[in-house]
Amino acid sequence: MKLKRAATLLMALALLSPNTLGAQAVPVKRPNIVILLADDWGFTDVGAFGGEIATPHIDALAAKGVRFSNFHVAGSCSPTRAMLQTGVINHRAGLGNMPETIPSEHLGKPGYEAQLNNRVVTIADQLRMGGYRTYLTGKWHLGYTPDTLPTARGYDRAFALAQSGADNFEDKPNLLIYDKTAWSEDGKPVKLPKRFYSSTLIVDRMISYIGSGKASGKPFLASVNFIANHIPVQARDADIEAYAGRYNAGWTVLRKERRTAAIAKGVMPADVRTVTMNSSGDWSKLSAQQRQQRAGAMAAYAAMGTAMDREIGRLVAHLKAIGVYENTIFVFLSDNGAEATDPMNMGAFTRWNANQLYDQNIGQQGRPGSLTAQGAGFASASVSPLRGYKFTASEGGLRVPMIITWPGNPALKAGSVAKGFAHVTDLSLTLLKLAGFTPQQGSFAGRRVEPMIGMDLSPMLTGAASSVHSADKPLGYELSGNAVLFKGDYKLVKNLPPYGDGRWRLYNITADPGESNDLSGSDPQRFAAMQRDYAAFAKANNVLPMPEGYTAPKQIFANALRNLLIPRLLALWPAGLLLVMVIATMIWWRRRRPS
């Protein structure tokens, strides 16, 4: 008993003094690490951040740990995942843009490889070298080829999806974007079971991997990457029915409810102002059928979130059962804000194509065979009280729920809210330090690599510091022409169409997280200085200007057309040639017949 207390005290002291965490500095058993990455969840989708969606298991992690209310990622999935895995800004990690939205003019340029490049190393690389078992399940989206899949990037075992999303009940892709699914296991293509649900399958595989390595006695890294709630939004009937009628009042009412709850939970200031996004539309002007359709889609979205939370609870229960829960660090976050894009609202051709490929009847929403999306209106509620959503550089696209907990470590300020600025590049560095490692700073295994740029969040976990980012140190970001410069409490931001007008604006995102008061006119000196800082960031990181007329939605369509239509036409040419030959023969025969 005394030995256990001593070990706990040493663990607490190690966390209270994070600068001492070198490779030899932690005398207790190194912690396990579990990263729980949700897909396309808005800031207030989690109950502990003000949401009405039932997420009791995520909320339990929040109660044991620290919620970060000013935590930022990229505006879409793979750039965030690259920064999370490496602690390096997305342009230097190879994800200056992702495969689905990159213009052909940029593809292959430095920083625009559209996959994790070989100039970076992952948290798995570093932990495995230090004696950890390393596992990944679920969405990877950082490369398709054997040399870019997880088992080539530091993971011992991996069950991985190389695409942005896939069906949750069948081994089929989003047919509007991909021809076939790209699931692999340990670097080799794998067929999925006949009957499965994605969140359950992803956790099943992780539990299996953890069990397979338990006899080694080594600590583990478990990177659990859900495809909930990416399009297609799908859930089991019972989960959908639990939310029947819940969203009939519409998104305007829900935005107000979420704002009030976020203030009550302590993750938003009491006087936070909100804006009405033009893209969300007016609920009161919808027809009864349109309201039924939109409320049903949101019910499916909430159901998918609850299903994912249940699987997190099952994983946590398993770790408790095998006696490792107390000495496991858990991180929960979303890869970007809520998704506003809806294939049924993207023009006549896309709507027609969706209707041909899927069962889009209102009563089928969220069920097998459907292609359901939350849509802009309810996406604006998912990010409430913030502005913007996925793809944008507004807070609704970049600020997401994030929780860190270490249940057996008493130094954590359990149940607290860390309100200082934090960034996704901070996470891998923080986790390495908490595990007792010195993160790489430009050299790994005898070769030069991109150094990690993150800050150690440990002082924010104990309450020793409100922020670890210097108020005078800028941090730049860009994706698809939507750009940001963070500096202290301030944010310089511009969004290209269709999300904005391409103009720079300035906000104090500590006092005004809803981005309601543009300070560019009232604080011209800061505005100009931060524009210079952004220009320096863009030059140093080879940020390319977007082609004339570029928009992310148009590029997704163009890339899908090129990647799907042309191969399908080429695949059909033998049949087409045969048909032409048959027709030509018939014409020749008819002409040869005597009259």
Rounded CA-CA distance 50/274 in Å is 15
Neighbours of 66 (CB within 10 A): 22
* 57 flagged as catalytic: no
Of the residues 57, 91, 106, 141, only one is catalytic, namely 141
Cα dihedral 565, 226, 399, 373, rounded to 10, equals: 50
Contact 480, 496 (CB under 8 A): yes
Rounded CA-CA distance 365/379 in Å is 17
Cα dihedral 69, 72, 77, 80, rounded to 10, equals: -130
DSSP secondary structure, 300-369, as one string: HHHHHHHHHHHHHHHHHHHHHHTT-STTEEEEEEESSS-----GGGS-HHHHHHHHHHS---GGGTTSTT
Pull the structure tokens for residue 575.
Answer: 């049949």
Quote the radius of gyration of the chain (alpha carbons, Å): 25
* 141 flagged as catalytic: yes
Amino acid identity at 467: S
49 contact partners, CB below 8 Å, separation of at least 6: 43, 67, 69, 262, 265, 267, 401
Of the residues 57, 77, 91, 469, only one is catalytic, namely 77
Cα angle at 87 between 149 and 489, to 5 degrees?
A: 140
Rounded CA-CA distance 211/360 in Å is 41
Catalytic residues: 77, 141
